[in-house]
Chain A
């Protein structure tokens, strides 16, 4: 408890006192603002300035005196003041009660949050199931120096635990602490011997040898002793907002729109079709608006993009107004895609997106946001990120994947028969097996390279349509956990496709065997990840009158 870091020893902790107010959000603030302005008005009135403003009429005093006594009383500044004070007191009271009743704690291998006065909630997330912990800072919270901690776990859309709000320093410390705990339990797969020990010591009774040491020594030694991957996060790159702006504009939809407008203008110049072209402009407006909103959203999401390396995870911070920080543990990355859309080629920009277990599935907006590791960057930037998140893939493999053409050493799958179906990209389509992953490359104009770790392949599918049967081709789908990346290798020679299936399944087999967790797997925890039911020691039904 003397730690600057929020004490993880299982004590119930409270959120920031202002948080109910912020959660009530804009409505409450509007009411408060209105009340304040009223207060100010009445205050001015009481000082007699009100008379100055009505004074031009000539007879303000008569008006005051002329009303009936009750109205006069309500009108009286003092009564109004009392009313306001009462109102504020009620708000403050509700706020206080709500604050008193929402508590959280970290301990016993889980995060718990209790909320509610009438309808109590108790939500808990087990630490080993934590997929990501992120900070979110809405505008209002940012102004007050507060932040919201969102704990995401594997499971349905309901499987998040949101602590809103904490002050920024505390939130960051808590996030790091949670990730440290969650990360350590994940590493249990690699270091099975001491994985359980520290957790047990941290959460439960201290073992006899520790009896002489101070009470919080149970947690501290392993925090200090273990390498602390979350403390030493160092920045890797940031994306300048100017570049992001240009890149956002350089998009298929905007370019198509621009071309349309140019053609329209040219058409308007030609007399014969002029009126027609002009008539088309209003029809274009909703489309233009839609595109603008879409592009603006992109800009809003990825503005102020920062990427930092914290050892076994990458940390992404982004958002033009609503600043969010997400941490993606490296081992949660299921597939990775490096893309250069056609219109980014002249400037040489690339984008990197990943599938992350547990965050891609539901809520498109959310998924999109968390899965972009580089919204736009040069090849140098991209290489930095790749070296960070896919250390197993050698750099020259990436070079072949993004720039290669034809018959680079190691790359296979180039199929001449596919030129009828892929006249442009058949030379580039192919795959390369590296130590830990399979790389797929495709696209002549929009270059695309995808890496899927062997250990993350969910299944493999071969498909063969009618035309492909005629040409002796087949298409391979490598299926990872869901997300924006869907690895496909189109139109391979059937024999090559079968080779691919054989080799990649073989490698996936051995990769699975290697990464097989020695810990007791999911079996002992069949219950839902997030438990909505009441805590065993919870208070009895309070909602009954």
Chain B
């Protein structure tokens, strides 16, 4: 709470799908590691299984190894791109979250519409000191989620959002 509130005094007209001049803030690079580990947890056993099958059963299983390896590499590349595409900015009345490259989304949630903010952190995320921040409005589909914030920053964001939500709250 002590940190200066990083509100960007920008009009929403400067918000664009591809970013633009606003000071978009990236998420923690730790998120890349967490996601890479998740990919590894899925891919490595598969790789091992196909190799074992190639040794003991038929060398043709190496085709499977190759496919899994390629998929794994693609996933690794994708994780990097995805994480670097997540960014957010706090305007004076909205928080805007951008995500994705192939499938771009941009969510703009007014502070006055916030119902509550969730902070979640799984064991893997906690090991890397990050948490995800989920924003809920009165509509279940409209909330934005912001994965991979450093825990302290997530907490600070939540209290900022709560304070502004209280100040700008609009009736339903």
Q: In the assembled complex, which residues on chain A have CB atoms less than 8 Å from the CB atom of B140?
A: 361, 482
In the complex, A136 Cα to B56 Cα: how many Å? 72
A459 B137 Cβ-Cβ under 8 A: yes
Per-residue B-contact encoding for A487-514, CB less than 8 Å = 1, 0 else: 0000000100111011101101100100
A498 B15 Cβ-Cβ under 8 A: yes
Judge if A523 is at the interface, Cβ distance under 8 Å. Answer: yes
Judge if B142 is at the interface, Cβ distance under 8 Å. Answer: yes
B113 A502 Cβ-Cβ under 8 A: no
A469 B107 Cβ-Cβ under 8 A: no
Asked, given contacts A506-B12, A509-B110, A515-B170, whether A466 binds B105 with beta carbons under 8 Å apart, the answer is: no
B103 A463 Cβ-Cβ under 8 A: yes
In the complex, A458 Cα to B17 Cα: how many Å? 19
For A486, A499, A501, which residue has the most chain B Cβ atoms within 10 angstroms? A501
B169 A498 Cβ-Cβ under 8 A: no
In the complex, A505 Cα to B171 Cα: how many Å? 17
Closest B residue to A494 using CB positions: B17
Asked, given contacts A463-B103, A498-B15, whether A523 binds B166 with beta carbons under 8 Å apart, the answer is: yes
In the complex, A154 Cα to B170 Cα: how many Å? 15
B109 A502 Cβ-Cβ under 8 A: no
Q: In the assembled complex, which residues on chain A have CB atoms less than 8 Å from the CB atom of B108?
A: 459-461, 501, 505
Closest A residue to B143 using CB positions: A459
A357 B104 Cβ-Cβ under 8 A: no
Judge if A455 is at the interface, Cβ distance under 8 Å. Answer: yes
In the complex, A457 Cα to B137 Cα: how many Å? 10
The DSSP consensus for interface residues of chain A is mixed
B11 to chain A minimum Cβ distance, whole angstroms, is 7
Option from B13, B17, B137, B170 in Cβ contact (under 8 Å) with A516: B170
B105 A461 Cβ-Cβ under 8 A: yes
Judge if B42 is at the interface, Cβ distance under 8 Å. Answer: no
Chain B interface category by residue count: 20 to 34
B17 A498 Cβ-Cβ under 8 A: yes
Number of A-B contacts (CB under 8 A): 116
Asked, given contacts A502-B12, A509-B110, whether A464 binds B17 with beta carbons under 8 Å apart, the answer is: yes
Asked, given contacts A509-B93, A512-B112, A522-B169, whether A459 binds B139 with beta carbons under 8 Å apart, the answer is: yes
In the complex, A474 Cα to B104 Cα: how many Å? 9
A357 B138 Cβ-Cβ under 8 A: yes
A474 to chain B minimum Cβ distance, whole angstroms, is 6
Q: In the assembled complex, which residues on chain A have CB atoms less than 8 Å from the CB atom of B109?
A: 458-459
Asked, given contacts A459-B113, A459-B137, A461-B106, whether A505 binds B17 with beta carbons under 8 Å apart, the answer is: no
For B106, B140, B166, which residue has the most chain A Cβ atoms within 10 angstroms? B106
Q: In the assembled complex, which residues on chain B have CB atoms less than 8 Å from the CB atom of A517?
A: 170-171
A39 to chain B minimum Cβ distance, whole angstroms, is 56
Judge if B57 is at the interface, Cβ distance under 8 Å. Answer: no
Q: In the assembled complex, which residues on chain B have CB atoms less than 8 Å from the CB atom of A480?
A: 139
For A154, A465, A479, A506, which residue has the most chain B Cβ atoms within 10 angstroms? A479
Judge if A325 is at the interface, Cβ distance under 8 Å. Answer: no
A116 to chain B minimum Cβ distance, whole angstroms, is 33
Judge if B168 is at the interface, Cβ distance under 8 Å. Answer: yes
Judge if A462 is at the interface, Cβ distance under 8 Å. Answer: yes
B87 to chain A minimum Cβ distance, whole angstroms, is 14
Q: In the assembled complex, which residues on chain B have CB atoms less than 8 Å from the CB atom of A223?
A: none
Q: In the assembled complex, which residues on chain B have CB atoms less than 8 Å from the CB atom of A505?
A: 12, 15, 93-94, 108, 110
Closest B residue to A504 using CB positions: B12
A463 B104 Cβ-Cβ under 8 A: yes
The A-contacting residues of B in range 130-172, CB under 8 angstroms, are 137-144, 166, 168-172
Asked, given contacts A498-B16, A501-B12, A506-B13, whether A479 binds B139 with beta carbons under 8 Å apart, the answer is: yes
Judge if A521 is at the interface, Cβ distance under 8 Å. Answer: yes
In the complex, A154 Cα to B171 Cα: how many Å? 12
Option from B13, B15, B106, B170 in Cβ contact (under 8 Å) with A512: B170
B75 to chain A minimum Cβ distance, whole angstroms, is 18
Q: In the assembled complex, which residues on chain B have CB atoms less than 8 Å from the CB atom of A516?
A: 112, 168-171
B93 to chain A minimum Cβ distance, whole angstroms, is 5
Q: In the assembled complex, which residues on chain B have CB atoms less than 8 Å from the CB atom of A202?
A: none
In the complex, A499 Cα to B16 Cα: how many Å? 9
B90 to chain A minimum Cβ distance, whole angstroms, is 14
Judge if B127 is at the interface, Cβ distance under 8 Å. Answer: no
Option from B103, B112, B142 in Cβ contact (under 8 Å) with A461: B142
Judge if B41 is at the interface, Cβ distance under 8 Å. Answer: no
A482 B104 Cβ-Cβ under 8 A: no
Judge if A80 is at the interface, Cβ distance under 8 Å. Answer: no
Q: In the assembled complex, which residues on chain B have CB atoms less than 8 Å from the CB atom of A358?
A: 172
Judge if B102 is at the interface, Cβ distance under 8 Å. Answer: yes
B142 A459 Cβ-Cβ under 8 A: yes
Closest A residue to B20 using CB positions: A498
A455 B103 Cβ-Cβ under 8 A: no
Per-residue B-contact encoding for A61-92, CB less than 8 Å = 1, 0 else: 00000000000000000000000000000000
B167 to chain A minimum Cβ distance, whole angstroms, is 10
Judge if A481 is at the interface, Cβ distance under 8 Å. Answer: yes
Closest A residue to B100 using CB positions: A464
B105 A481 Cβ-Cβ under 8 A: no
Judge if A189 is at the interface, Cβ distance under 8 Å. Answer: yes
B99 to chain A minimum Cβ distance, whole angstroms, is 10
| Apart from A459-B109, A463-B105, 20 more pairs, CB < 8 Å | A189-B171, A361-B140, A456-B172, A458-B109, A458-B138, A459-B107, A459-B137, A459-B142, A462-B105, A464-B103, A474-B104, A486-B141, A503-B13, A509-B93, A512-B93, A515-B170, A516-B169, A516-B171, A521-B166, A523-B166
| 17 residue pairs from A and B, CB less than 8 Å apart | A458-B138, A459-B109, A459-B142, A460-B107, A462-B104, A462-B106, A463-B104, A465-B103, A469-B102, A482-B141, A494-B17, A498-B17, A501-B108, A502-B15, A512-B112, A517-B170, A522-B169
List chain A positions with a Cβ less than 8 A from chain B: 154, 189, 332, 334, 357-358, 361, 455-466, 469, 474, 479-482, 486, 494, 497-499, 501-503, 505-506, 508-509, 512, 515-517, 521-523
